[in-house]
Amino acid sequence: MAEPIMRRANGDGVEIQLAIWEGAGKNILCVHGLTANSRCWDVIAQAIIPRHRILALDLRGRGFSGKPSSNYSVEYHCRDITALLDDLALNQIVLMGHSLGAFISLAFAALKPERVGQVILVDGGGKLTQAQTAKVFSGIKPSLDRLGQVFPSFEKYVEAMKKAPFLQPWSRAMETYFQYEVEEVKGGVRSRVQPAHIQEEIANLVKMDAAQLYPEVRCPVLILRATEGMLDKDDILLPEDVVERMVGGIHDVKRVDLEGTNHYTVLFQENEVRDRAILRFLEQNA
Q: What is the mean pLDDT of each run of 10 residues along the chain (286 residues)?
A: 94 98 96 97 97 98 98 98 98 97 98 98 94 82 86 94 90 95 96 95 93 97 96 89 97 97 96 98 82
Would you say 32 and 41 are in contact if contact means Cβ atoms under 8 Å apart? yes
The answer to the question of residue 236 being in a domain is: yes
Q: What is the 3-state secondary structure (H, E, C) of 10-22?
A: ECCCCEEEEEEEC
Report pLDDT for 232: 84
How many structural domains comprise the chain? 1
The predicted model scores a pTM of: 0.97
At residue 136, the pLDDT reads 81
Q: Does an H or E element contain 259, and which?
A: none
Q: How far apart are CA 211 and CA 219, in angstroms?
A: 16
CB distance 281 to 118 below 8 Å: yes
Q: Is 154 exposed, middle or buried (0-12, 13-18, 19+ CB in 10 A)?
A: middle
In a domain, 173, yes or no: no
What is the domain range of residue 69? 5-128+196-284
Rounded CA separation 281/224 (Å): 11
- Which pLDDT score is estimated for 184? 96
Task: State the pLDDT at residue 257.
Answer: 98
Residue 285: the pLDDT is: 65
165 falls within a domain? no
**pLDDT recorded at residue 286:** 59
Contacts of 31 (CB under 8 A, 6+ apart): 57, 59, 77, 81, 95, 96, 97, 98, 100, 101, 102, 104, 105
User: Parallel, antiparallel, or unpaired: how do β-strands 53-57 and 15-21 relate?
Assistant: antiparallel
In a domain, 142, yes or no: no
Q: Tell me, yes or no, whether 101 lies in a domain.
A: yes
